[in-house]
Structure 1
Amino acid sequence: MKNLPIFDLLIIAAYLVGMVLVGIYFASKNKNPEQYSKASGSIPGWAIGLSIYATFLSSNTFLGVPGKAFGSNWNAFVFSISMPLAAWVAAKYFVPFYRNTGEVSAYTNLEKRFGAWARTYAVVCFLFTQLARMGSIFFGISLTLQALTGYDMEVIMLVTGICIIIYTVMGGIEAVIWTEVVQGVLKTLGALLIVYLIINSMPGGVSKIVEIGKSDHKYGLGSLSLDFTSATFWVILLYGFFINLNNFGMDQNYVQRYHTATSEKEASKSVWLCVWIYVPASLLFFIIGTCLYAYYQVNPAMIEPVKLQAAAERLGAGASSADISRLAATLLPEDYGDKVMPHFMVTMIPTGLIGLIVSAILSAAMSTISSGMNASATVFSEDIYKRYLNRKISQQENMRLLHIATVVFGLIGMLCGIAMIGVKSILDIWWQLSGIFAGGMLGLFLLGIISKKSGNLEAFAATIVGLLVIVWMSLSHLIPEEFAYLKNPLHANMIIVVGTLSIFLTGSLLASFKNKKEADPSVTTGRKVPQKEY
């Protein structure tokens, strides 16, 4: 099917128009930067919790998680299992910290603690993380809509991007939060509908799905061995804890929402509400992947077009049909997992319901992208423009700056999405990029919060060490084989773990050494000082 039925197109168009109208409605309320970035602290905790949940539940989850479960097992679900511990730390320490500072930017405190360089470094890491996130989500949504419509992925990114930019620019953080409340509900209902349709189409129903899943080991959470070179249970658990700690503690998307709450208590409630909804919701997407795997095991002929499409994309334009067929026959489920759910939608979901499910996937993409655009614009305004270019900017000029920055970051996010066309797994590419960019930022933040005796010099030296470690771990695969002993032996998801600990431990040890040196007069005088001279 190369064209959606008119009825489905009308449903999707109505959804996009509705989102734009929401932005227009809230535009009249945004009279100043405080309202645009903080909603003047007027949002109830339950709405913020649903908003954070919707940001977590991006199209990377909607498409990438079922693709991952289809191609392997439930190992990636361990990421969700790590969330409650990170949420506990956030609610107990991070939320009160940010609410007490009153700073809309998550990175202002780093300058007070270590100097301007620390703030700027964290801002750069955050912006790169957001561009990687937006790019992966633009890519994911265009992958689905291309399968449904036949339009070029670049055109799809442009159309959806324009709609997202319009309502984000006009509505500010309040429009983002309230649209995400609707989107969170919509995407959850969409996932439940997909599960129902797969089970309804499956000969043998639930029992057959469970049987196939068991026989092919689809429910495993990963090896429990202490092996950090592959995606074991412990690697994903550590990765998930550090990434979620970064999300709740350093990510402007979430920190900014703490300031929109009516009170500190409501802000803490929003964190826990997000966790208790997201964990079972993410499990639902793993169930979808396993259901799809079982469905296509029973109907193997129906998966052939997906394998041929994946093979054609790998070989590129000009490949012969024979070459495509030969490659398709060798592909494993993990090689085409991200394309399976779009294919099921094209072939098995009836008219009308496709429009609803595509709207759910669009909402998954739009909520995260709009949030990232708003947060990036806020950080650019607070931490770059006001800090280095114009400290005395007027409210009117600041509003104009926020609008322009939102548009610019949205457009750059689209370009990043175009650059990702052809990647093997949406979830893998996002996890790798976020681990690289977030590691140094989180390590510096924890050093400032926990190690009270660490100063500017210790933090700077520790950050240099951490950066060198992260660069080596990220790029060591490029080292020639004759120097294989110099390559990073750990799994890619360990980058954020090792990078964070490198900065925190190095800074703490340097601070401890400095304080010990200052406390011992013999170190500076060169002689042992008698006890009575102290």
Structure 2
Amino acid sequence: MKSLPILDLCVIALYIIGMIAVGIYFSRKNKNAEQYSSASGSIPGWAIGISIYATFLSSNTFLGVPGKAFGGNWNAFVFSISMPFAAWVAAKYFVPFYRSTGHVSAYTNLEERFGPWARTYAVVCFLLTQLARMGSIFFGISLTLQALTGYSMETIMLITGTCIIIYTVLGGIEAVIWTEVVQGILKTLGAILIIYLVIINMPGGITKIIEIGQRDHKFSLGSFAPNFTQAGFWVVILYGFFINLNNFGIDQNYVQRYHTATSVKEAAKSVWLCVWIYVPASFLFFIIGTCLYAYYQVNPGMIDPVKLQVAAERLGAGASAVNIRHLASTLQPADYGDKVMPHFMVTTIPTGLVGLIVSAILSAAMSTISSGMNSSATVFSEDIYKRYFKSGNSSKQTLRSLHILTVIFGLAGMGCGIAMIGVKSILDVWWQLSGVFAGGMLGLFLLSIISKKTGNMEAFAATVIGILVIVWMSLSYLIPNQYSYLKNPLNANMVIVVGTLTIFLSGTLFSRLKNKRLNITT
């Protein structure tokens, strides 16, 4: 650990002050809840597209993806390959559907189709997903800044979280979108800068990186065998398609942005713009991971401090130096992948540029967390507070409640981040948690818009079955080994796939059986 030079600290401070200033600027426009939540439908499609891209490109991507590529291969890039397929469905069906309803919440339609229970269930799943997402991002950013400053991860989360809360509460969705436009550009430039710095410091340059990458199979997309027990190509592309369908189709972060567009065409354009930027941008982060792997293969002694740090964390306080060194010698790249990029920044990147890259990582975290706080507050206000408590609030009262809820969800996200301290892989944790929470929500949503004949009872029964399947798939690892035949044999990323299909197919089957019985009766 080392302290950042004054120049880098000034760069970071200027960035944070700039983001807060944007929030203050847009606070003058936020006179009512509609402006706060949907910007009164005044944002151009290109800005929304970059904003959605910035939300996708969180610090989980900035740190987690290079960590995965460093510790393994390019298997996780298959997630990005799946995005255009989900985007086509979203642009053709989901965007026009939401624009026609006029509801700012993605979940109001579920109550109209199946009743209050469906809406409440989806809202709970969404809020849990957002807390998991915000927590993993808070954890990722604190991991980087801890390596650079030496401050505790809890302190870093508190400081960064407070800044994010301030500009999100002040500026609303319009401030979130326009700051994300800046952040999307900044974080992309940061990725390109890191690649350049690795290459110029690498003996042998690009040729050596490719040579080492090919030798150790770092460019592999995973096994193409139809094996769903491991995270091969087919598991990740299925996971990616369903989770991106969830993102574009029922995630309030994205649905809320559709309402900020000036037209349906502009909203659909924003989805495709996000995809065409995100896919090559995510490719850059896999390149970073492979470049760092090659760099530390050529300079193995330079990674030893990271290994020692991880070993000390695992053994805990009081561990002897001998035991720490022994454990460090047995660690594999996958065990410390998330810590490699912060270490490279500390030891290699020149003064001044570190501040720019940290600002890029901060922007990756701030954009996703701020949109998560804003959308969570909007959903809770529309679907819980107004629905069950006070439906007759004035616009000013609703705006005040949105401000309070934004603060509450920001603090809750920080708490989740603190709870994640010590996890092995940011990306793995986020993928697993999002798959668990999103599976039932997506299945119910697809049932509501595709299976028109499915009624309330059929949807409820299908959802109960889907939840039981998701709980079993997620927790069956707790079953004792003597009953191993009862454990889930599939990879954890298959939870959203199986959960979604279980609810959709069960609901469709129940509705057909009901209609068949009615036809026989009549």
Q: For 2:315 and 2:394, how far apart are their aligned partners in 1?
A: 54
Q: For 1:405 and 1:2, how far apart are their aligned partners in 2?
A: 37
1:152-200 residue CA offsets vs partner (Å, 9 max, x unmatched): 0000000000000000000000000000000000000000000000000
In the alignment, is residue 151 of structure 1 matched against residue 156 of structure 2?
no
The structural deviation recorded for 1:319 is 1.1
Q: For 2:209 and 2:281, how far apart are their aligned partners in 1?
A: 19
Give the partner amino acid of 2:239: Y
Alignment of 1:105-254 (within 5 A): 105-254=105-254
Q: For 1:83 and 1:136, how far apart are their aligned partners in 2?
A: 22
Q: Residue in 2 aligned with 1:4?
A: 4
The structural deviation recorded for 1:360 is 0.1
Q: For 1:415 and 1:321, how far apart are their aligned partners in 2?
A: 32
Q: Residue in 2 aligned with 1:329?
A: 329
Q: For 1:38 and 1:259, how far apart are their aligned partners in 2?
A: 6
Q: For 1:466 and 1:317, how far apart are their aligned partners in 2?
A: 43
Q: Residue in 2 aligned with 1:452?
A: 452
Q: For 1:246 and 1:487, how far apart are their aligned partners in 2?
A: 26
SS state of the match for residue 290, structure 1?
helix
1:201-234 residue CA offsets vs partner (Å, 9 max, x unmatched): 0000000000000000000001000000000100
Q: Residue in 2 aligned with 1:393?
A: 393
- Structure 1 unaligned spans of 5+: 525-534
The structural deviation recorded for 1:317 is 1.3
Q: For 1:101 and 1:449, how far apart are their aligned partners in 2?
A: 12
Give the partner amino acid of 1:357: I
The structural deviation recorded for 1:318 is 1.3
Q: For 1:347 and 1:298, how far apart are their aligned partners in 2?
A: 15
Q: Residue in 2 aligned with 1:282?
A: 282
Q: Residue in 1 aligned with 2:506?
A: 506
1:369-424 residue CA offsets vs partner (Å, 9 max, x unmatched): 00000000000100000000011011111011000000000000000000000000
CA RMSD of aligned residues (A): 0.5
Corresponding pairs, count? 522
Give the partner amino acid of 1:489: P
Q: For 2:473 and 2:75, how far apart are their aligned partners in 1?
A: 22
Q: Residue in 1 aligned with 2:495?
A: 495
Higher radius of gyration, 1 or 2: 1
Q: Residue in 1 aligned with 2:318?
A: 318
Q: Residue in 1 aligned with 2:80?
A: 80
In the alignment, is residue 402 of structure 1 matched against residue 402 of structure 2?
yes
Q: For 2:8 and 2:229, how far apart are their aligned partners in 1?
A: 46
Q: Residue in 1 aligned with 2:262?
A: 262
The structural deviation recorded for 1:486 is 0.5
Give the partner amino acid of 2:463: T
Q: Residue in 2 aligned with 1:97?
A: 97
* Structure-2-length-normalised TM-score: 1.00
Q: For 2:230 and 2:325, how far apart are their aligned partners in 1?
A: 31
Q: Residue in 2 aligned with 1:529?
A: none
Give the partner amino acid of 1:380: F
The structural deviation recorded for 1:273 is 0.1
The structural deviation recorded for 1:57 is 0.1
Q: Residue in 1 aligned with 2:470?
A: 470
Q: For 2:62 and 2:408, how far apart are their aligned partners in 1?
A: 26
Q: Residue in 1 aligned with 2:62?
A: 62
SS state of the match for residue 35, structure 1?
helix
The structural deviation recorded for 1:473 is 0.3
SS state of the match for residue 336, structure 1?
helix
1:481-513 residue CA offsets vs partner (Å, 9 max, x unmatched): 111110000000000000000000000000000
1:12-51 residue CA offsets vs partner (Å, 9 max, x unmatched): 0010011001000000000100100000000000000000
Query: Which has the higher mean CA deviation after the structures are superposed, 276-285 or 307-316?
Result: 307-316
Please list every run of at least 4 consecutive aligned residues from structure 1 whose deviation after the TM superposition is greater than 3 angstroms: none
Give the partner amino acid of 1:120: T
1:290-331 residue CA offsets vs partner (Å, 9 max, x unmatched): 000000000000010011111111111111111111100110
The structural deviation recorded for 1:346 is 0.2
Q: For 1:240 and 1:412, how far apart are their aligned partners in 2?
A: 27
Q: For 1:177 and 1:224, how far apart are their aligned partners in 2?
A: 39
Give the partner amino acid of 2:301: A
* Structure-1-length-normalised TM-score: 0.97
Q: For 2:320 and 2:249, how far apart are their aligned partners in 1?
A: 51
Q: For 1:517 and 1:200, how far apart are their aligned partners in 2?
A: 72
Give the partner amino acid of 2:29: K
